[in-house]
Structures are given as C-alpha cells and as structure tokens.
A and B are shown apart, each in its own frame.
Chain A
C-alpha cells in the first residue's frame, strides 16, 4: 500500500492522526505519556477534523533525530569516498528503484544513500560540521542530493588568513564584519573552528597544540586569543548556534589540560565543544594514555554555558576526515595506511586517513570508553549529544549500537570483557552504573541538539512544530529497536515504514544572514584579487544554489530558544 497517496485531503490540508503511542517529547516535558498527535500541512496541530489515522498503540514515539555534528557532504568526505574503493565492494548497496536512487553505504556513504540511511534509523535533521568557503558551492550541491533529511552547515573560519591578519592587527570590529560576510558567502548556518591557529601553522609544517602556542606567521595572536575572539564575535552577531569548536591538540595523550584551558577561556560565552571524546585524555605517552572524562565532565557539569557532542568511538573500520591536517599526518605516521592531505588556500586544510579501531588496541579501547564515559558522566542530557563525529569515531548508521551501550549497563560490562587487561585504572567506565532511559535518549538524540542548533521547530512534538517523528517497536534488543523504526515521518509524510523507503522528499537547508557593513566588499576585493585563485564575484555561493533555503533569524536571545512557543 502506498501511504503517500492515501492521505485524505480536507480543504487542501493533509491531515493525519497518530493514536495510542507512548510519547517521549523532552522539549515539552512529556515522558512516556500515551498521547495522540495530530498533523496538518507538515506540522503538529491541536485538532483533527478528518484524514488518515495510524494506530501506534504499544509503540514508542520520539521526535526525529538531529545530528549536531557529522560530515556528509563536501570536499573532504568526497575525498574519503575516492580514497576507499575497497569499502565500496563490501558495503551495503542501494539498488535503484521507483522511489530511490542507487548508492552505497559503508564508511563514507554516497549522497543519496546518506539520506536513506539517516532517515532509515529515524534521523531527520543533520548538521554538516566543516565547510571551507572555497568548497561551499560543492557542499551545497551535495547537500541538495541528500534526500529526506533537513540540513545545515558550518563554515570553517578560525584559520582564515584574512581574519587572522585582522585579529593580529587588533582590527576586531572589521574582523567581525568579515566573519559575517563569509558566513553569508558560504550560505552556512554557523561557524566551526578547527584547531585554531594550528591549521594555519600546518601550512608551515608546524602545529599549535596549546592555547599559548606560537602561530607561524603571527606575533600577537595565539590559539587562546582566536578562540575567545571568535566566541565573542559569534555572540555579538547573534548566530543561533554558538561557536562550534574542535579544540587544539586533538587525540594526543594529556590533551585534557588544553581542553580545560579552552573551557576556561570561554567562560561567559556560549560554546559547543565538538567530539569531546578526542579531547579528554590523560597521560603523556601512547603507553600510559588514560581517560580523563571524569575530570572533564566535572568541570563541564559546573559550567552551563557549554554544550558538547560525544564523538564516541565504536570498534571497526572507518575513515577519519578532519580539517586538522597536522593530526592526520601524525595518524598516518602511526598507522602507515593511506593518507590524503588537502590545502584549502588561505582558509583551512584537510586530512584523510582510513582507520580501524580495535578492542585489542589499548589506545582504541580507552577511546571507546571515554566516549561512553562522557555521555554517562555529564549529567544534563540537554548539554551532551549523541555523535560519532561521523565518520571519524564510527559511521552514523551505527548510532543504535551506542544507544544500546547507554541503556544497558550489563551489555556495557559484556563489551568491556573483551578489552585488554591492562586497561584497568585507565578508564572509569566499569564504576559507572547509570543507564539512560528513553526520555534521556530522546533528549540527547533530538531535543538537545535541536536546541543547541537553535532550531526551535525541530526535536519538538509541540503544536506548530515540524512533524518529524520516529516510531519504534518496543524491543528488549535496543540496537534492533533503534536500528529498525516502525515508521519515520518527515514533515508529516511517511518516509520509512518497516525498513522500506516510501517517499524521498527533498529536505530544507537552514542558513543565517548575519548583518555586516556592505562597504566591507571594498576592503575584501583587493585582498581577494591579490591572494585567491577564484575571482571575488565567483566566491560567494548564490542563493539559487540552495534548495528550499530557510533563513533563520540572528539575534534571538539564546535563553529563549528551544522552549515551547
């Protein structure tokens, strides 16, 4: 039966009623109540006149998942696809059918498959977390080809030569206008900072591991100044999503000091810490690397200005991709596997290294534990979100496995039995007995990340909000339950039913348009003509390139966001 064409239309309004389901809607404080949901024209409504009814008795209803940090489109993931042909042979293939395009799953899924896989497990909004302006046009073309889910993207700015030069000269106000200009030029939704100053130094073969490190080519600024100034600029511009920060010194033993120092720098500002797992290590060598998740979680719990996503690791094959070029070079040297490096002119860089996380490897085992520890030790689920930094820690389509690890302490203990014996005293996971409940899972997978992104109509089953819903069977096998939803609705339309793709509507793309001085063009143009390979006119992405663009307002008080209307 084709649901898509079977809705009853009353006065041109598509109406749908979902009855009898057990609803988990953290944005409205609803924790497992049996409740009917009414949908008209893609949004929740308060009354039902006539239309189709779906009986969800005995089923679990949650808002559709929101991924706050993933890499699904653009130059780097495409480079990763090209670098891993061996994965394409062994992976899940989507065969073309009437409703869907062909594609491949695996470590770096193709565009259409990305949409099918996300929607297939009930995720309906994704945030592509790293876009250089120079490849923004390409990224938007790919995002356009990711069906079903809504999208947003963050522009990479914290190693941009023009902005760093201005900060070096103390021209902070002009830097802010240029930042706003770039956000609009890239048609992005917010700002990502990756290893601030470190990637700029990498262009000289160096790194900047600490907040006081020297940045090659600069005398007055340090990673510390870049981070604080960016956080301030973003708050002043009123961007809905705060500074999205990939800290310096990623992945290295002992880097918890750098992370804590970064958090101290950001007191009084909003900030989102990306993939915190990679920044929570103690020790000073690979041999004695240990988890410092407890220390980090303690500080984090006491500072409500911050949010984070876990960047959890699962054992298995994946491909790591990041703008953090120096780290990727180190990882390549450690593994001896393939290495790709991109230099994005004056803006940023990118490194690609295929990687296998093994339970027998002590470092990998610590990483696996740290991701879970952070999710379990940070006690406010509104501030820590489920992510694997796809595809870095694991592929996004493995989220159900992490949910199982969070909800079942017994299963966690079972998994810990396969870790090396000498991991004792290096991790605190064995002492943690906390188990997530469904309400908390709905918070970390949907309501929380939607609020952190400032998408108040997402992750919320309240009246007037987008009708993105996932409905699960109750199942003692948690991974199966979350991997195989009964229904997934996107904008009130059934897109997935019992594992089958029913409809593949195009998603929307969220942008912001922060205010900037229009005269700033006159300052930028000569710099471009002097330094860039691309002409100034061709650099900004045109609005026509964005399908279903939704411009979100800047300057709304963040404290008001996310709550019901």
Chain B
C-alpha cells in the first residue's frame, strides 16, 4: 500500500516537538530513516519510533492515528502532499505551511495554520486559539491558503492575517480578525465580542448577528457579487453562503475607525427572521 502511517503507541508525558513530521521530509526517507528521525520530548532528543509505530516509506501522504494533542508542529512549513490525522492534534498544526493539505478528524489546538502561506487545512472538530494568526511580534499572520474549522474556535482568529480565507463553522471567541490587514474570515455561527478590533483592511463575513464595536460605522446594505463567488469556491468544502436577495441582505460595517482602518464586516440579515 502507498502512504505512511504513524500510530501513537506511547502518549508523550510532556509536549513532543515533531516538526519532522511533514510530507516533504518523509517523502525522501526510508522506513529506517523515518523510525530513527529525531523528535524532542521536552528537552530530550528521542527517536520517532519510541512514540509511534511506523508503516510505509518514501511517501508524501501521511496518516496519523491516536490522541496527539501533545504532538506539536505537525506539517510545519510543508509544501506539498497530504497529512490526515485521526484523533486530536496539538499546537502549531501546519504553521507556516506553503502548500499541500491537512485534514483532521478530531480537534486541533492553538495556532492552526499560523503564518501559513498556502495550502489547505480542514479541521472537522474544534480549534483552539489564534487560528491563522501571526506569532507574537510578527507583522503578518496568514498570507494565503484556506483554513476550514467545522467546530468552534478560540480567540484571535486570523490575528494580523494579510491574505487567504478562514471559515469557522461553530462560534468563535473574542477578537476575530484582530489587527487584520487583508483576507477573509467567514463566521457561520458568529463570535463573541470585539470582532474586527484594529482591522485595517480585509473582510469578516458573519452569518449570525455580531456584537459590533462602536468604532465601526454602518455603511449600507447589499448583496455583493463576491460573496456568491466565494460560496461557489467553498461549496466543495461544505460551506455555502446565502446571498439571495429575496432571502436577505448583508449589512456592511466599515472600520476599525480607531486605527483608522478600511476593513469591512458583513453581517447576514435574513428576511425571515426580521
């Protein structure tokens, strides 16, 4: 069979820094090399096969099984191939990735797709904080690609993001799009408070009413064409956006005037619920 399968056999006691687990590296490694590649268990350097049963070699298609919520940096900086994760996964999943795809059948922790440049991440469960965000101090978060979280997400979704798209299926917490400079965030179940704080550019689309900050100004209602284009693009990933004039409209808010910024927040208003 093709592909590489890693099954967690011993749960790490502290976090396991496993940036070695990427399609780019494993595609060029024999079974022996994969087994003996180094991971950091806390400060200790250990072999990968101390934690995982490894099957397969020389493949850019990885499958991980187990409760991996202490396994960090999986798929970091990957440029192609695929990672499929069956179980919960730890922090920094797909951070700084450039291409390829990651699919998680479970929950993901913080910093999913942080500073990613391209590619796709789909988490079928919930995600932690700082999805697609900039690391502390960086000027820009996500610069391209697509992140889809079917469940809920923590604070600071898309913090300082510059391009790319983030879809949050469940409710998000505070500060969605904090200091956002571009790109699109779609909130299917709305968010808690301070959405779009300090946003300079970019778009936040919410299908549920949002608590708006006073530094955002109402600036018209419409059914923008680009939402229909996005809807078509996202349909294969199970995310459609309503945009039928007869069904409702998007209320547009401009801000954040505190910066001052030229961003926009579009909130869907359904005629049926008005």
Contacts and interface: CB of A to CB of B under 8 A. Distances in A.
Interface of A: 83-87, 89, 337-338
B137 A87 contact: yes
B133 to A, nearest CB: 12
Interface in B16-74: none
Contact of A337 (B134, B135, B136, B139): B139
A85 B137 contact: yes
B175 to A, nearest CB: 18
A84 B139 CA distance: 10
B138 interface: yes
Interface in B97-128: none
A117 to B, nearest CB: 21
A86 B134 CA distance: 9
Contacts of B135: 85-86, 89
Contacts of A89: 135
Contact of A83 (B137, B138, B139): B137
A402 to B, nearest CB: 27
B186 to A, nearest CB: 27
15 contacts: A83-B137, A84-B137, A85-B135, A85-B136, A85-B137, A86-B134, A86-B135, A86-B136, A86-B137, A86-B138, A86-B139, A87-B137, A89-B135, A337-B139, A338-B137
Nearest to A89: B135
Contacts of A86: 134-139
A85 B136 CA distance: 7
A338 B139 CA distance: 9
B110 to A, nearest CB: 16
A360 to B, nearest CB: 17
Nearest to B136: A85
Nearest to B200: A336
Contacts of B136: 85-86
A86 B137 CA distance: 5
Central interface residue in A83, A84, A89, A338, by most chain B CB within 10 Å: A89
Contacts of A85: 135-137
B109 to A, nearest CB: 19
A152 B123 CA distance: 56
B138 to A, nearest CB: 4
A87 B136 CA distance: 10
B25 to A, nearest CB: 19
| Residue of A83, A86, A87 with most chain B CB atoms under a 10 A cut-off | A86
A531 B30 CA distance: 71
B195 to A, nearest CB: 22
Interface string B119-159: 00000000000000011111100000000000000000000
Nearest to A356: B139
Report which residue of B134, B135, B137, B139 has the largest number of chain A beta carbons within 10 angstroms of its beta carbon.
B137
A87 B137 CA distance: 8
Nearest to A85: B137
The 5 closest A-B pairs by CB, nearest first: A86-B137, A85-B137, A86-B138, A85-B136, A84-B137
Contacts of B139: 86, 337
Given A85-B137, A86-B139, 13 more contacts: A83-B137, A84-B137, A85-B135, A85-B136, A86-B134, A86-B135, A86-B136, A86-B137, A86-B138, A87-B137, A89-B135, A337-B139, A338-B137
Contacts of A87: 137
B107 to A, nearest CB: 26
B96 to A, nearest CB: 10
Contacts of A338: 137
A502 to B, nearest CB: 26
A84 B136 CA distance: 9
Contacts of B134: 86
A411 to B, nearest CB: 31
B240 to A, nearest CB: 37
Contacts of A337: 139
Nearest to B140: A86
Nearest to A83: B137
Contacts of B138: 86
A37 B136 CA distance: 51
Nearest to A84: B137
A338 to B, nearest CB: 8
B45 to A, nearest CB: 12
A84 B137 CA distance: 6
A83 B136 CA distance: 9
A153 B185 CA distance: 51
Contacts of A83: 137
Nearest to B96: A89
B116 to A, nearest CB: 15
A83 B138 CA distance: 10
B135 to A, nearest CB: 6
A384 B138 CA distance: 37
Nearest to B259: A336
A84 B135 CA distance: 11
A113 to B, nearest CB: 18
Nearest to A87: B137
B213 to A, nearest CB: 20
B46 to A, nearest CB: 18
A337 B200 CA distance: 13
A66 B137 CA distance: 33
B106 to A, nearest CB: 27
A25 to B, nearest CB: 45
Contacts of A84: 137
